[in-house]
Amino acid sequence: MHVNKSVSFMLTYAIWYSMLYFVQLKLLFKTNHNRKKLIKFCINLLVFYIAANFLYNIGIYFNLDYLVSTAITILILMPLRYIVLKYYVYN
């Protein structure tokens, strides 16, 4: 089966990060759910989803292997995402 690499990346990113809300809420940040946190999480998810796709596709544009482009995207965004989650979303 031939699936476009960008589409595959976007779908995988969206599925896994949408499940993270409850895992991070209960296990990582040990806090309770409320509507405000969910809204901030969704905004955070959208912003980082756009940023990840932008960074990934820049790598593809410069002829990086898709796995290298994915790894670079993760290495750049993961620490930033944690900081935003800790001090904005779950605070």
Helix (H) or strand (E) holding 8: helix 5-23
Helix axes 5-23, 66-84, angle to 10 degrees: 30
**Each residue's pLDDT tens digit, 5-56:** 888 888 887 888 778 888 998 899 999 999 999 899 989 989 998 999 999 9
Look at the pTM and tell me if it is higher than 0.75.
no
Written as six digits, the tokens of 13 are 């990113």
Q: Say how far residue 60 (Cα) sits from the centre of its chain.
A: 18
3-state class (DSSP) for residue 31: coil
In angstroms, the CA 22 to CA 56 distance is: 26
